Structure 1
Amino acid sequence: MPFIPHTETDVAEMLAAIGAPSIDSLFGEIPAELRCKGLSQVPERVSEMEIARLMHGRAAQDGTLLNFCGAGAYEHHVPAAVWEIATRGEFYSAYTPYQAEASQGTLQLLYEYQSMMCALTGMEVSNASLYDGASALAEALLMAVRANSANNGGKVLMPQAVHPYYREVVASITDAQGIQPQPIGYDPVSGATSLEQLRAHEGQGITAVVIQQPNFFGVLEDVDAITDWAQANGALVVAVVNPVSLGLLQPPGLWGAKGVDIVCGEGQPLGAPLSSGGPYFGFLTARQVFVRQMPGRIVGRTVDLDGKPGYTLTLQAREQHIRRSKATSNICTNQGLLVTAATIHMSLLGPEGLESTAVHSMANTQALVEALTAIPGVSAAFDGERFHEAVIRLPQAASQVLAGLAERGIFGGFDLSQHYPALGSALLVCATETRTAEDIARYAAALREILSAH
C-alpha cells in the first residue's frame, strides 16, 4: 500500500474543487526565504529491500555494548513470543478501549494485567498503567494527599536513596500542588534509609512516606520497620518497587503489620527491551479503600444480558471523561502496548519464572561485586543486603573509567558523582540474569587494565 494513496488525478480533482492552481499555492502565505529549497541530502527513492539494508547498516554503526548498567532500566531476557504476540494486529492497533462492544480483547487483557499486578504487589486494586515509573510516583503522592484526610498538608518524607530522576520528576509535577518533599538521608555504611532521620519528623503531620525497595543503590530497606513507623504517625506509605524483585521479595501488601497503602513503579523489566529511554510504563496499585482517588482507569469484569462474561471501563476519573476540576489526574497516559507485552511476559514466565529471574540476577550481581572488588583500589560502598545492583568505589574518576570501558565495548554502569558527590568516585553497577560468568570476567579484566594503566 502506498504511503500517499492519492493519485495525480485525485490531487487534480481536489485542487479544482477548491480553486487552487497547484499544491505549492496552498503554502503561499509562507515567505519564500523560509521555504525549503530542496532536500539535497535525501537520496533518490529506493526499493524496500534497499532501504532495509541501509537501515540495518546504520543501526550496526551504533554497535552493541556489553551492558552492566541498570539505574531504573534493566536488560532482562524477553522471550520471542512476547512481541510476536503483542504486535499482532488484534493488540497492536486496538489501543483505545473506550468502546466496550468493539474492544473486548483489549479490555480483557487490561483486566488480566490488573489482576496480575494486584497479585504481584499484594494489593487490592490496580489501574490500567501510567506513563512511566517516575510520573507514577508523582501520581501516587498526589493520590496520598487526597486520600489522607487527617494529614493532607503535603509533607512527604522522601529518602535520598530514592531514584534521583524520580525525585526530580516528582518535584516538577507536584511543586505547584503543594507537595513538600523532605529529604531523608541514608546510612553511609549500609546504604539504607536512616530510621533516625525519619524519627526526627514524628508528630509533624506527615502526609506520606516513600520507600523504594530495593532502593536506588540496590540495597534492601527495612521495609517492615519503616511501614509500621509511618502508619503509627498518621502517614500513608507509598512503595516504589522493582516488579522483578517481587518474584523473590515480600510484596508491599505484607510489609509491616498492615501493609503499605499505595504501590507504584516502572514496568519496563516486564517484557520491554532497552530502547533509548522508552517507551516504558508505570504501574500503580492500592488498597480498595482508596480506589476513588486512584488516577487513570480501571477495567472491570461483568456479564452481559445473555449471562456471558464481558469487560468494561468501570472507573475512569481522568480529564477526558469527567470535568477537569474533578479529575484525579490530567497526565495519566495508559501505555497500552507496553502493558500488553508485560501481561504476555508475566503469563509466559509465571511465578516460578519470575522467581528464577530474580534469583539469577542476585547471584550474578554478587559474582560481579566479588570480581570487581578483587581489583586493588576497588571496594563496595555499602555492606547492606542488595538485590541486583551495587555501588562500587573506584580509585579514579568514574567518568574516565566509563570512557575506558566504552572503548572496550563495555557499558560499565551509572556514574553517581553528579547525584551523590559524597560517595566520591562511585559507580552503580548491575548484572541481571542475562550476564554470564564470561561477561563478568571480561568486565573485571577490562577494569583491571584501565586502573593499572594510570
Structure 2
Amino acid sequence: MRYLPLTPADRAEMLGTIGAASVDDLFADVPEEARLSGPIEGLPMHASEMAVERHMTKLAAKNLSAGSAPFFLGAGAYRHHVPASVDHLIQRGEFLTAYTPYQPEIAQGTLQVLFEFQTQVARLLGTDIANASMYDGSTACWEAILMAARVTRKGKAVLSGGLHPHYGEVVRTMAKFTGDEIHSLATGLTAEPDDAAVIGAIDEATSCVVVQYPDVLGRIPDLAAIAEAAHAKGALLVAVVTEPVALGLIEAPGTLGADIVVGEGQSLGVGLQFGGPYLGLLGCREKFVRQMPGRLCGQTVDAEGKRGFVLTLSTREQHIRREKATSNICTNSGLCALAFSIHLTLLGGEGLAQLAGVNHARAQAMVERLTRIPGVELLNHAYFNEATLILPRDARDVVRELAEREILGGVSLSRLFPAAEGLDKALLVTATETTSLEDIEAFATELEALLVGVPA
C-alpha cells in the first residue's frame, strides 16, 4: 500500500469537520508545562548516523542490564530462560504476524497456532475457554471487569489490596470513561493476604472482585473462599496471574471457582524487553463466551473433509459489531502469543512443573540466605518465587546502593505504592531458574555490607 500524505487542504478540511482551528488544539488537554515550546536544549538539530550511533551506545552503556548482574527484580515482569528455538520458530513465514488474521481462510498456520494457544491457556488457567490473547495483563484485567459488568448488569468492581498497583491504575483510568465504580482496598504488610477484607467489601451492587494470585507481595490468597462469597452476592471472581510459571505448582484459579482468569504471559517465551510488548491472557467459563472480549479461533473440516481452522468468534470487532462490540482492542499480541505457545509446548506439562519447582527452590534458597542477615525479616512464609522482606532501613535507598554495587536487588514497595504509608522498609525480591546460588551469595554479601557494615 502506498503512503499518501495529506495536503494542507486535506488537513484544513479534517480540522474543520471536528471543529478545531489548528493541530495545536488537539493537545489542549496536555498541561502547558508539559509541552515543548521549542527544540530540546542541548540536542543538535542534525547529526550523522555514525555520530548518533556512538552517542546512543554511550548512553546504553550506562544501563545495568538483566543479564549482566545478579538479578532479583520481579513485581509483574520476570526474567526466565527462553530457549533459542523459540526465536527461531516464531520467524517462520507461516506463523510470523502480530495479529489474528482478517482473512482467516488464507492464514491456516496462524489460526492453528492460536487454536493451540487457546487450548494451552485454558488448561493452564483452569477455565473452559480462552481467547486468542490480548495486549497485556493490565488491560486484560480491565477487559475482565467490563465483561463482568455485562454479565451481571452491575457496575461496581472491588480490587483486592494485593492487586499490582499498575493494574489498579489502568482500571481506574479506564473507569473514568465508563462510569464504573472502582472500590480499591488498601495494601497492608501482613503475613497473610486480608481475604476477610475482600469478602467484606462485596455487596449486592458488586459485579466482580479482582484478586491477584499470587498477589503483588508474593502471598497466596484463598480464592475458593472469595469465590464462594462473591457468588453468594451474585458477583464474579476475576483472578489475576502475573507469573504463569507459578501454575506449574499451585492450583489453577479456574478450578478454585474463578469465573474469569486473566494474566500476563510474559514469563513464557517473551523476554523482559524493557517493559513490552507483553501478552495478555484471558479465560472464562463457557457460558460467558458471548461476552468475552477478543477473538476465538476454532477447528473444523472443509468441503473435502480435511482439517481446517477458522475465526469462530469476533465479538470485539468494531468493523463487524460496531457499537455492540465487547471491546475495541485492535490486536492480540499475536507474535508474543506464538512465542508463549512454542515455549510452553517445548516444556510440556511435566516440564512446566519441573520449571516451577526449580523457581520455588531458588526462592527458598534466596530467602533462607537473606534472612540470616541481622535485621532482615521475611513477611510472608507462603510464596512461589517472589517474597517480601522487611529491612532495618529504607528499601529505596538500599535498592539504589545495591545497583551502584551492580546488584539488581529487588523492588521497593514504596516505589510501587508511593502514596501508601508504612511500606518504606519493605523489599520485594524474586528468584527464578536464571538465579544462581552464586548470585544469591553476591546479593547477600552486598546487602549485609550495607545493613550491618560487614566488609563486602
TM-score for the superposition, normalised by structure 2: 0.84
| Structure 2 Cα separation of the partners of residues 199 and 60 of structure 1 | 49
Aligned match of 1:140: 144
Aligned match of 2:24: none
Against the structure 1 CA distance between its residues 223 and 40, is the aligned structure 2 distance closer, same or farther, given a 3 Å change threshold?
closer
Aligned match of 2:326: 328
Name which of structure 1's ranges 130-139 and 368-377 shifts more when overlaid on structure 2: 368-377
| Structure 2 Cα separation of the partners of residues 444 and 236 of structure 1 | 43
On the 8 A contact 1:297/1:313 being kept in 2, the answer is: yes
Aligned match of 1:224: 224
Please tell me the residue identity of whatever aligns with 1:159.
S
Aligned match of 2:194: 193
Against the structure 1 CA distance between its residues 144 and 54, is the aligned structure 2 distance closer, same or farther, given a 3 Å change threshold?
same
What CA deviation, in whole Å up to 9, does each residue of 1:132-157 have, x standing for no partner? 10000000000000011xxx331222
- Out of 295, 299, 316, the position equivalent to 1:301 is 299
On the 8 A contact 2:78/2:267 being kept in 1, the answer is: yes
| Structure 2 Cα separation of the partners of residues 260 and 246 of structure 1 | 14
On the 8 A contact 2:145/2:208 being kept in 1, the answer is: yes
Aligned match of 1:3: none
On the 8 A contact 1:365/1:431 being kept in 2, the answer is: yes
Deviation at 1:446, TM superposition (A): 0.6
On the 8 A contact 2:86/2:339 being kept in 1, the answer is: yes
On the 8 A contact 1:324/1:330 being kept in 2, the answer is: no
Rg (Cα) greater in structure = 1
| Structure 1 Cα separation of the partners of residues 192 and 421 of structure 2 | 14
What CA deviation, in whole Å up to 9, does each residue of 1:219-259 have, x standing for no partner? 1111111111211221111111232111111112210xxx2
Aligned match of 2:181: 180
Matched, 1:388 2:392: no
Please tell me the residue identity of whatever aligns with 2:142.
A
Taking the TM superposition and a 5 Å limit, the aligned residue runs for 1:16-415 are 42-43=47-48, 59-60=60-61, 62-64=63-65, 65-93=69-97, 95-148=99-152, 152-185=153-186, 188-195=189-196, 197-201=197-201, 203-241=203-241, 242-255=243-256, 259-331=257-329, 333-383=331-381, 385-415=382-412
2:206 match: secondary structure: coil
| Structure 2 Cα separation of the partners of residues 395 and 347 of structure 1 | 44
Unaligned ranges ≥5, structure 2: 1-37
| Structure 1 Cα separation of the partners of residues 300 and 199 of structure 2 | 46
Please tell me the residue identity of whatever aligns with 1:427.
L
Against the structure 1 CA distance between its residues 271 and 426, is the aligned structure 2 distance closer, same or farther, given a 3 Å change threshold?
same
| Structure 2 Cα separation of the partners of residues 183 and 96 of structure 1 | 34
1:207 match: secondary structure: strand
Name which of structure 1's ranges 198-207 and 163-172 shifts more when overlaid on structure 2: 198-207
| Structure 2 Cα separation of the partners of residues 422 and 45 of structure 1 | 50
Please tell me the residue identity of whatever aligns with 1:269.
S
| Structure 1 Cα separation of the partners of residues 395 and 300 of structure 2 | 56
How well do the aligned residues superpose, as a CA RMSD in angstroms?
2.6
Name which of structure 1's ranges 442-451 and 371-380 shifts more when overlaid on structure 2: 371-380
Deviation at 1:453, TM superposition (A): 3.9
Please tell me the residue identity of whatever aligns with 1:107.
L
Deviation at 1:99, TM superposition (A): 1.1
On the 8 A contact 1:160/1:185 being kept in 2, the answer is: yes
Deviation at 1:187, TM superposition (A): 6.4
Aligned match of 1:26: none
Please tell me the residue identity of whatever aligns with 1:440.
I
Identity %: 47
| Structure 2 Cα separation of the partners of residues 344 and 54 of structure 1 | 37
| Structure 1 Cα separation of the partners of residues 90 and 421 of structure 2 | 42
On the 8 A contact 1:130/1:332 being kept in 2, the answer is: no
What CA deviation, in whole Å up to 9, does each residue of 1:268-287 have, x standing for no partner? 01111111111101010011
| Structure 2 Cα separation of the partners of residues 304 and 54 of structure 1 | 57
Deviation at 1:199, TM superposition (A): 4.1
Deviation at 1:113, TM superposition (A): 0.2
Matched positions, count:
409
